[in-house]
Structures are given as C-alpha cells and as structure tokens.
C-alpha cells in the first residue's frame, strides 16, 4: 500500500490526504479518541510499514523508502478519515491509481496483496496497543477492526482490478511487439543491429538455426492454434500473422495432431529466416494440394513442391506416361504398382511384399506399363519422369485414379 513519490502527482493522493486528514469535531467518544491517536502516530506507523515491506517483500525492496512514504501516509489518511466518518465510505474505489502505478513498477499482484496484509496487521496491532489509553473497550476495538477489514477488502478489490488491467495491457503490448518482431524477421525488414537487439531481448541464440512455419488461418481458431503450438505446455514458437496466414519460427519441428496442417521450412539462422519462410510457404501450398495434414517439412516433401509449381511440365509428362494407360481400373492398378516399384528402389520382391501379390504379378504389370508407354523404367531419367507424371496426375485429377484399388 505504498507509492513512490517520483511518480506521484497531487491527484495521486497527496492532495486527497489534505482533504480528509482534518480532525473530527467531536473526539469525546472512545472510537474517535482512538482514531485521533492513530492519526497522531501516522508517520511513525507508515515508516514501520515501509520498512517491513522493503525487508520482507522483494518487489518493494527495489524502491527507496523515501519514494514509498508519501502515498503510504496518504492512503492511511483516507482509511482513518473514513473510519472517523470524515470521508465518504467509498474511499476504496478511489485507489485504482495505486494499483496501476504498482503494476507499471513491476510489483506483482502477490507482492501488492502481501504489502496490504502486512500494513493491515501493523495497523491492527497499533489499534490494540492504544485502545486502553484511549478508553476503547473490546466492543469498540472489535467494531473498528471489522470496519477496517471491510475498508481494506474494498480497497484491495479496487486496486487489484486496476493492477490486472495494466498487467493485461502490458502483456498485450508485449505480444504485439513480439509479433511485430517475428513479422520483421520473416520478411527480412530488420537491420543487423535491430536483429541482434531482438535476439538479446527475447533470449534467442544468434548462432542457432530456426525453422519458419506457416499455416492457413482457417485451419484452426487462434486460441486453438496457439494450443497446438504448445503440445507439452512449453512455448517455443514466435508467431504472427502474415498475408492472412499464421506464421512464425521455432527452434524445433512441432508435431500437431488432427486435420490442421503446419508447414515448416528448412532450418536457417535468423538472418536467413526469410528464405526458410518462403520455402515454408511452398511446403504449405504443396501439402495442401496433395491433401496432407499434421506437420510437414519442406525437406521431407522431396520433389513434390516442384511438381506443384510446374503444371506445364507435369501435364506434358502425364500425356507421355499416364494417358496411354487409359482410365480403367486396370490403369489404376498399373499406376499403383509402378508407384510402389519406384518407391522401393525398383525391387520386385519388395514391391510384391508391399502390394501383397506374387513377384511374377509385379513383373507382368511393370512389363505391361513399359509396353503401353514405350519406356524403360530401368533408365534413371525415365524413372524420374514417370514418378513426376504420376504425382502430377494425383494432384491434377485426385479422383481419376484409385490408388487404393484392390490388386487383381
């Protein structure tokens, strides 16, 4: 319940102290005599509160005592004036500035509440000690204690709301700054000095490699996407929005479940993050085109980004190697067999095991494919062209070929 003088203005409470710290006209009652005694001891009591707070609460230990005293005494004046009936009972609602200033000084809510409870105990101890000398019996002391606790609770609610408001605003500002830094890293708009300052500020490593990532914004709501980026609760991703897509970078590949798609570029130093981000974009476009879900890496897509990016070449290769097969179920079987054959390094036995057919069946199908297309799959460049043609055929006409057709 303390306030540094360097940030105070008269509106912060000092002028209010003068307004409410007047003596009551009638101090004949034990309650008023006790409160008059508390007002007389205000400065000594405030000094003890400040000293204890600085000793016992780390957040307060960083603030000079001289900076804490003015508002400490001002708040005590408000409390005593309200207890004496010299001020409106809504004094607690006037303490929002206190919570706001404490938040800007990096005093946590926990520290703030501890300081108030400490002050509450010291005030109550002083009341108890002075009660006999002021002729205040247990009933008067109990009534004052009850009223004091109510005022403290009201005040705590008031400054707590203000503290949370500032904390939320600061957190939002921090997220916005972090997102802007992320956007600048991915788009390459930072100078080397700005990048190094950001690396230091956010605890990054200048010598480490980071993967840029990209995802469609319609793949998941923002809160859900943030949750997917923290599979184990730890947050390792810097994220923002670029051209309507989720974007960011991280030092690891994050595996996400479900139907959402998250595409990663290759690992690069942060000064080369734009390159990783461009390839993450290509990986995303490729994975979307081929119906992939979950996490995918540009490195793991092989030549598929090239297939997706060059439709003219793909269409020509389809005309050369796929169109001669026709559009029947038998054509689908041949395509399925050739795909498995190329994937297994053109090994007949391995292909037969994958398709659960006899090796001679594989030999027949491969021979039939070569006959219809007038090619020799044993030639390296031919095999690459056939693979490209099949992948583009899948991309351009996903329903035209049944890759899950039963073997015949």
pLDDT tens-digit readout, 308-350: 999 999 999 999 999 999 999 999 999 999 999 999 999 999 9
DSSP assignments along 112-144, one per residue? HHHHHHHHHHHHHHHHHHHHGGGT--HHHHHHH
Give the model's pLDDT for residue 27.
Answer: 58
Give the model's pLDDT for residue 401.
Answer: 39
| Residue 342 and residue 226 share a domain | no
340 lies in some domain: yes
Give the model's pLDDT for residue 152.
Answer: 82
Average of pLDDT values for 167-174? 85
Lowest mean pLDDT among 6-10, 39-43, 373-377: 6-10
Mean confidence (pLDDT) of the chain? 85
Lowest mean pLDDT among 123-137, 226-240, 264-278: 226-240
Task: List the Cα angle 53/57/62 in 5-degree steps.
Answer: 85
What is the b/e burial string over 169-190, where b = at least 16 CB atoms within 10 angstroms of the residue's CB? eeeeeeeeebbebbbbbbeeeb
| Residue 282 and residue 315 share a domain | no
| Residue 328 and residue 291 share a domain | no
192 lies in some domain: no
Helix then strand then coil, in percent of the chain rounded to 5, is 65, 5, 25
User: With 50 as the cut, is the pLDDT of residue 284 above it?
Assistant: yes
Give the model's pLDDT for residue 234.
Answer: 60
User: With 50 as the cut, is the pLDDT of residue 93 above it?
Assistant: no
| Residue 330 and residue 292 share a domain | no
Kindly give, in sequence order, each residue whose CB lies less than 8 Å from that of residue 196, ignoring residues fewer than 6 positions away. 206
Average of pLDDT values for 127-137? 89
320 lies in some domain: yes
Give the model's pLDDT for residue 12.
Answer: 43
pTM: 0.63
Give the model's pLDDT for residue 9.
Answer: 39
Say which CATH number the domain at 336 has: 1.10.10.2840
* 243 CB burial (10 A radius; 0-12, 13-18, 19+): exposed
| Residue 280 and residue 392 share a domain | no
With H, G, I as helix, E, B as strand and everything else as coil, classify residue 250. strand
What percent of the chain clears pLDDT 90, i.e. is strictly above it?
54
pLDDT band at 229 (very low <50, low <70, confident <90, very high): confident
pLDDT band at 233 (very low <50, low <70, confident <90, very high): low
Q: Between residues 319 and 165, which one has the greater pLDDT?
A: 319
Sheet containing strand 294-297, edge to edge, reads: 237-242, 245-250, 211-216, 261-264, 294-297
Using CA atoms, how far apart are residues 71 and 307, in angstroms rounded to an integer? 70
Number of structural domains found in the chain: 3
What percent of the chain clears pLDDT 70, i.e. is strictly above it?
87
38-74 per-position pLDDT tens digit: 999 999 999 999 999 999 999 989 888 998 888 788 8
82 lies in some domain: yes
Using CA atoms, how far apart are residues 274 and 185, in angstroms rounded to an integer? 7
Domain of 263? 206-301
Give the model's pLDDT for residue 21.
Answer: 39
Using CA atoms, how far apart are residues 69 and 54, in angstroms rounded to an integer? 12
User: With 80 as the cut, is the pLDDT of residue 219 above it?
Assistant: yes
| Residue 239 and residue 282 share a domain | yes
User: Tokens at residue 361, please?
Assistant: 């069946």
User: With 50 as the cut, is the pLDDT of residue 302 above it?
Assistant: yes
| Residue 58 and residue 149 share a domain | yes
- The end-to-end CA distance of the chain, in Å, is 83
User: With 70 as the cut, is the pLDDT of residue 1 above it?
Assistant: no
| Residue 119 and residue 233 share a domain | no
């Amino acid at each position: 319940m303390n306030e540094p003088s360097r940030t105070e203005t008269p509106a912060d409470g000092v002028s209010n102290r003068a307004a409410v710290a007047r003596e009551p006209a009638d101090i004949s009652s034990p309650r008023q005599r006790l409160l008059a005694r508390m007002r007389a001891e205000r400065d000594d009591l405030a000094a003890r509160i400040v000293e204890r707070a600085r000793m016992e609460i780390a957040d307060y230990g960083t603030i000079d005592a001289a900076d804490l005293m003015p508002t400490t005494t001002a708040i005590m004046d408000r409390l005593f004036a309200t207890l004496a009936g010299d001020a409106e009972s809504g004094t607690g609602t006037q303490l929002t500035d206190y919570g706001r200033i404490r938040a800007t000084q990096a005093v946590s809510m926990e520290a703030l509440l501890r300081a108030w409870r400490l002050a509450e105990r010291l005030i109550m101890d002083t009341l108890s000690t002075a009660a006999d000398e002021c002729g205040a019996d247990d009933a008067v002391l109990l009534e004052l204690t009850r009223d004091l606790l109510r005022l403290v609770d009201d005040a705590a609610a008031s400054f707590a709301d203000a503290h949370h408001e500032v904390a939320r605003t600061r957190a939002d500002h921090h997220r916005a700054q972090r997102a802007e830094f992320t956007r600048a890293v991915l788009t390459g708009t930072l100078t080397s000095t700005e990048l190094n300052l950001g690396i230091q500020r956010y605890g990054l490593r200048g010598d480490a490699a980071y993967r840029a990532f990209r995802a469609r914004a319609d793949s998941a709501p923002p809160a859900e996407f943030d949750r997917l980026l923290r599979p184990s609760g730890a947050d390792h991703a810097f994220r923002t929005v670029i051209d309507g897509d989720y974007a960011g970078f991280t030092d690891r590949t994050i595996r996400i479940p479900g139907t959402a798609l998250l595409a990663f570029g290759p690992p690069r130093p942060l000064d080369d993050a734009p390159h990783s981000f461009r390839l993450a974009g290509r990986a995303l476009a490729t994975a979307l085109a081929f119906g992939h879900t979950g996490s995918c890496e540009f490195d793991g897509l092989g030549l598929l980004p090239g297939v997706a990016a060059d439709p003219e070449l793909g269409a020509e290769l389809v005309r050369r190697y796929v169109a001669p097969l026709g559009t029947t179920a038998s054509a689908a079987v041949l395509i399925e067999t050739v795909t498995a054959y190329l994937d297994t390094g053109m090994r007949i036995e391995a292909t037969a095991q994958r398709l659960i057919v006899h090796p001679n069946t594989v030999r027949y199908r491969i021979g039939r494919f070569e006959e219809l297309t007038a090619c020799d799959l044993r030639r390296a460049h031919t095999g690459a062209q056939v693979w490209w043609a099949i992948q583009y055929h899948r991309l351009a006409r996903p329903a035209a070929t049944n890759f899950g057709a039963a073997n015949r």
